[in-house]
Amino acid sequence: MTRLTTHADPASQRFVANESAMRELVDELHRKLDAARAGGGEAATERHRARGKFTARERIERLVDRGAAFLELSALAGCDMYEGDAPGAGIVTGIGPIHGVPCVIVANDATVKGGTYFPMTVKKHLRAQEIALENRLPCIYLVDSGGAYLPLQAEVFPDREHFGRIFFNQARMSAAGIAQIAAVMGSCTAGGAYVPAMSDESV
C-alpha cells in the first residue's frame, strides 16, 4: 500500500474550514437519523404504546439474539419526501441473527401513517428482499400495516419494481428454499394482508 507523503496542517485556515463544514454535515446526518428512528413522533408512539404494542424497533430488539448487532438498511429512505410524513419510509429493515442464523427483518412502523406503504416504502422493502435473495437469508416480516397509503396508491402499483413485486419475491424465495416467515402484530389489511398470506409460516 502506498503511503501518503503529505501532512495535514490542522492549524491551517483551509483545514479548519473543511473540518467545520464536515462537522455540520455529520451533525445534519445524525439529526436526520434521529428523526427516522423517532418514527411517527412522540404522540403517535404514545398512542401506539397505549394499545399495548411495541414499536417496530422494540420488536426487532426483542427478536434478534440478545447483545447481537442489528445492521439497519436504508435508514434514510423517505428523508425529506412526502412533506416529512414518512420518516424511514415507515418501515424498518435490516439484518440480525436469530438463534445464530442471520435473517433479513422487515418491520412495519405503525406509528407512521398506520404502517401504510408509500412508494419509497415499497422500494425499501424490495431492497431488503433483494439482499435476502442474493445471500439466501431467511426473511422475517413483522406485519403491522394498513396496506398502500391511499392518497398515493396510484404511485405504488405502476411498474415492475413496485408493490406486487414484494409478493412475487416471496414466492420466488420460498420456491428456492429461503424461508418466508410473518408475524402479524397489528393491522393486516389490503396489501398488508398479502405478506403473511404469501409466507411459508404465519403467526
Query: For the segment 49-108, what is each residue's pLDDT rounded down to a tens digit?
Result: 999 999 999 999 999 999 999 999 999 999 999 998 899 999 999 999 999 999 999 999
Q: Is 6 inside a domain boundary?
A: no
The enclosing domain of 28 has a CATH number of: 3.90.226.10
Range of the domain at 124: 13-202
pLDDT of residue 40: 93
- pTM, entire model: 0.90
Q: Is residue 3 part of a domain?
A: no
Q: CA-to-CA distance for 91 and 72, rounded, in angstroms?
A: 11
Confidence at residue 4, expressed as pLDDT on a 0 to 100 scale:
82
63 occurs within a structural domain: yes
Q: Which residue has the cell 434478534?
A: 64
Decide if 189 is inside a domain: yes
136-187 pLDDT, tens per residue? 999 999 999 999 999 998 898 877 888 999 999 999 999 999 999 999 999 8
If one counts the domains in the chain, the total is 1
98 found inside a domain: yes
Does residue 31 lie in a domain region? yes
CA distance 63 to 158: 34
Question: Is residue 174 a part of any domain in this protein?
Answer: yes
